Amino acid sequence: MYGFLTIMQLTFLEMRRRRIVQIALACGAVCLAVFATAIYLVHQYAHPARAQSLLQVRIFLQLQTIAGMYAVNLMCATIAIILPVDAISGEIASGVMQTLASKPIRRVEIVLGKWLAYWLLIAAYTAAMVLGVVLVMRLITGFSQAHVPAALGLMTLQGTVLLSIVIAGGVRLTSVANGMLAFGFYSLAVVGDWIEQIGAMMGDSGSRYIGTAISLLSPTDALWRRTIYMLEPPMMSQVSLSPLARSAVPSIAMVWWAVAFVVGALALAAHWFKRRSL
């Protein structure tokens, strides 16, 4: 337990010293500033005083929030992959891990200590960015987004899935191969989402099954679709303004599957790392 905390502290210190945290925060701040500027300009154009109906304004603001969340989601997913990509593989390749693992510490503590440190950063970063988008919308347009905690939880879970894939991959692959694998998982999920959505719109059950199977293999985009579902009010899909086909909304079971996916990936990482020659 003590070794686990030491590894966690080391990982935090490393992230801070390598200016990873600072750069991630700066990029996030710039993105939020750009988003705020865009919303401000758009809001000047689409102000309720310009004879639009309240429904139109409401839908317009909702779509803007989802667009902001989409950017945040993309950024958080990228950070969840890039940040820990050499956390284990890099230390194995450089030989740092030999000295660490020769100490009286369980290898699983090294894996979990690193994972938790990165998870805390990714969770905090996702929270800051999501709340930033909500705050920008609130301050500039007065729009209050509902179901923010649920959306935040789903987006954090997506980052957690990607982080766990990267940690598990890092035990067996080089840093570059590991990054490619993680982005492959993420891209696969996006493709699966398209297939499932198209299948749902066309009523093609075969495509939907393929999409669902891909989501099981890589559940990240399914979590994003569930996030949109949580964020948007039901009326949007009723008036066909949702970016999401209603019948392609992932169920709560997919969320639990993503949780199980994380546990499985970590168990695999611990198992592989225990057996790995250093």
Q: Which of 45, 50, 53, 95 binds another protein (CB under 8 A)?
A: 95
Q: Is residue 50 part of the contact set for another protein (CB under 8 A)?
A: no
Q: Give the count of residues interacting with another protein (CB under 8 A).
A: 23
Q: Is residue 108 part of the contact set for another protein (CB under 8 A)?
A: no
Q: Is residue 245 part of the contact set for another protein (CB under 8 A)?
A: no
Q: Which of 3, 174, 188, 259 binds another protein (CB under 8 A)?
A: 3
Q: Which of 49, 53, 103, 252 binds another protein (CB under 8 A)?
A: 103
Instruction: Give min distance, CB of 8 to another protein, in A.
Output: 12
Q: Is residue 198 part of the contact set for another protein (CB under 8 A)?
A: no
Tokens 């996006």 identify what position? 190
The candidate with the shortest Cα–Cα distance to 32, out of 148, 130, 107, is 130
The candidate with the shortest Cα–Cα distance to 1, out of 98, 111, 99, 105, is 105
Tokens of 32: 């939020």
Residues 155/163, Cβ–Cβ less than 8 Å: no
Which residue type, as a one-letter code, is found at position 225? R
The half-sphere exposure of 174 on its side-chain side, counting CA atoms within 13 A, is: 4
Tokens 């960015």 identify what position? 129
| Binding residues among 8-37 for another protein as defined by CB under 8 A | 10, 13-14, 17-18
Q: Which of 25, 27, 42, 105 binds another protein (CB under 8 A)?
A: 105
Q: Is residue 1 part of the contact set for another protein (CB under 8 A)?
A: no
Q: Which of 96, 124, 202, 260 binds another protein (CB under 8 A)?
A: 96
Q: Which stretch binds another protein (CB under 8 A): 101-109, 225-233, 242-250, 254-262?
A: 101-109
CA angle in degrees (0–180, nearest 5) for 221-222-226: 115
Q: Distance (Å, rounded) from C-alpha 15 to C-alpha 169?
A: 20
| Sign of the C-alpha dihedral computed for residues 205, 211, 216 and 217 taken in this order | positive
Q: Is residue 234 part of the contact set for another protein (CB under 8 A)?
A: no
Q: Which stretch binds another protein (CB under 8 A): 3-11, 73-81, 140-148, 159-167?
A: 3-11
Residues 79/24, Cβ–Cβ less than 8 Å: yes
Residues 241/57, Cβ–Cβ less than 8 Å: no
| Sign of the C-alpha dihedral computed for residues 37, 38, 42 and 47 taken in this order | negative
Instruction: Give min distance, CB of 85 to another protein, in A.
Output: 17
Q: Which of 45, 51, 53, 102 binds another protein (CB under 8 A)?
A: 102
Q: Is residue 71 part of the contact set for another protein (CB under 8 A)?
A: no
Q: Is residue 275 part of the contact set for another protein (CB under 8 A)?
A: yes
Instruction: Give min distance, CB of 241 to another protein, in A.
Output: 49
Q: Which stretch binds another protein (CB under 8 A): 2-10, 68-76, 141-149, 262-270?
A: 2-10
Residues 35/68, Cβ–Cβ less than 8 Å: yes
| Sign of the C-alpha dihedral computed for residues 194, 197, 201 and 206 taken in this order | positive
The site for another protein (CB under 8 A) is made up of 2-3, 6, 10, 13-14, 17-18, 94-96, 98-106, 275, 277-278
